[in-house]
Amino acid sequence: MTGTPVLEAVGLHRTYGQTEVLKGVDFSVDKGQVKALLGPSGSGKSTILRLMALLEHPDSGDILLNGKQLGVTSTSDGRSRRLPERKLAVQRRDIGMVFQRFNLFAHLDVLHNVTLALTEVSGIRKAAAVDQATAMLERVGMADRLHHYPGELSGGQQQRVAIARALVLNPTVMLFDEPTSALDPELVGEVLEVMEALADSGMTMVVVTHEARFARRVADEVMLFDSGTIVEVAPPEEFFDNPQHDRTRQFLAKLH
Ligand SMILES: Nc1ncnc2c1ncn2[C@@H]1O[C@H](COP(=O)(O)OP(=O)(O)OP(=O)(O)O)[C@@H](O)[C@H]1O
């Protein structure tokens, strides 16, 4: 751990209609660090990830990657303006995102689902894309399913393909939004194993999860999120074994 912030959120606010979903969220994840984000349903966890992945704009606040402000550009009068979509797409490559629902293309086989990101987003030629995608699918244990279609795979296998699809773009940081919550319980372990290996390889990660055991084992820091703000940040052993605050105790009690 170097203590160098890779991804930072500064004062993020987001309101939908009358509902203030994020009320000024600040946090950062350092190079090689894994942060687990826990919190009740509807507290705004997915919203934070979507903002950090540049899939949505905050009403106010900044997202920084390696110190550089993302999603906006400065104008000559010193104000900032949102980047146009094509420039956002370039910045998004650095931030891998894995969703609860795998969102694979049903009409493309596994290999094509992963090469597509390379050929369409990164402009890499087909042959090189196939090599890179195959290597990445090997890494997530899917090398023997290259020509299967998503409908022929289990949820756990589909999620591993979705992880390979994000990783193949060589992102600086990976964001996971409840990656196992749509899976049957017997398929959760294989996805968590891939994520743990990724964390061990030094990937910088932010993981929204309800998997307390995974968070305890893999995360460097756990953040408890509630009603649009971070209410607690602690190392996992302190968070899980020695909950000092009522909020943590109440939340953990609801998990089981
Ligand atoms: N696009 C949207 N339009 C309107 N309301 C939204 C939108 N996205 C999220 N919300 C609302 O914002 C609140 C926070 O949603 P969010 O999905 O970020 O919570 P969450 O903590 O990830 O919940 P869960 O664990 O159930 O996924 C919810 O009340 C949700 O209904």
Least confident of 71-75, 183-187, 237-241: 71-75
Residue 117: strand pairing partners: none
**Do 119 and 183 share a structural domain?**
no
Number of domains present in the structure of the chain: 2
43/240 Cα distance (integer angstroms): 20
pLDDT the model gives residue 109? 98
* Average of per-residue pLDDT across 210-218: 92
Q: Where a domain ends, among 170, 186, 205?
A: 170
**Tens digits of residue pLDDT in 94-111:** 999 999 998 999 999 999
CB 28 within 8 A of CB 206: no
Confirm whether 99 is domain-assigned: no
State whether residue 231 is helix, strand or coil. strand
**pTM reported for the whole predicted model:** 0.93
Q: Which atom of ligand 1 is nearest to the CA of 210?
A: 25
CB 215 within 8 A of CB 36: yes
Q: Is 18 in the pocket of ligand 1 (CB under 6 A)?
A: no
CB 137 within 8 A of CB 157: no
Confirm whether 216 is domain-assigned: yes
Which residue segment(s) compose the domain that 139 sits in?
A: 104-170
Q: What is the ipTM of this complex?
A: 0.93
Q: Is 39 in the pocket of ligand 1 (CB under 6 A)?
A: yes
- Give the CATH number for residue 187: 3.40.50.300
**Do 191 and 111 share a structural domain?**
no
**Do 113 and 38 share a structural domain?**
no
215/99 Cα distance (integer angstroms): 17
44/53 Cα distance (integer angstroms): 14
Pairing label, strands 173-177, 204-208: parallel
Q: Where a domain ends, among 126, 150, 170?
A: 170
**Do 150 and 25 share a structural domain?**
no
pLDDT the model gives residue 163? 97
Measuring from atom 25 of ligand 1, which residue has the nearest CA?
41
CB 49 within 8 A of CB 175: yes
**Tens digits of residue pLDDT in 11-57:** 999 999 999 999 999 999 999 999 999 999 889 999 999 999 999 99
**Do 162 and 125 share a structural domain?**
yes
pLDDT the model gives residue 2? 53
Q: Which atom of ligand 1 is nearest to the CA of 50?
A: 18
Residue % of the chain over a pLDDT of 70: 95
- For residue 10, give both structure tokens: 């500064």
**Do 15 and 86 share a structural domain?**
yes
**Do 65 and 137 share a structural domain?**
no
**Do 27 and 140 share a structural domain?**
no
Q: Where a domain ends, among 149, 170, 191?
A: 170
Q: Is 105 in the pocket of ligand 1 (CB under 6 A)?
A: no
* Average of per-residue pLDDT across 66-92: 86
Band of pLDDT at residue 246, cut at 50, 70 and 90: low
pLDDT the model gives residue 241? 81
Measuring from atom 9 of ligand 1, which residue has the nearest CA?
47
**Do 149 and 124 share a structural domain?**
yes
pLDDT the model gives residue 105? 97
CA of 118 to the centre of ligand 1 (A): 30
CB 54 within 8 A of CB 242: no
**Do 214 and 155 share a structural domain?**
no
48/234 Cα distance (integer angstroms): 19
CB 145 within 8 A of CB 74: no
Q: Which atom of ligand 1 is nearest to the CA of 49?
A: 18
Given a cut of 60, is residue 90 above it in pLDDT? yes
**Do 47 and 27 share a structural domain?**
yes
In the chain, DSSP finds a helix count (H) and a strand count (E) of: 9, 12
Q: Is 47 in the pocket of ligand 1 (CB under 6 A)?
A: yes
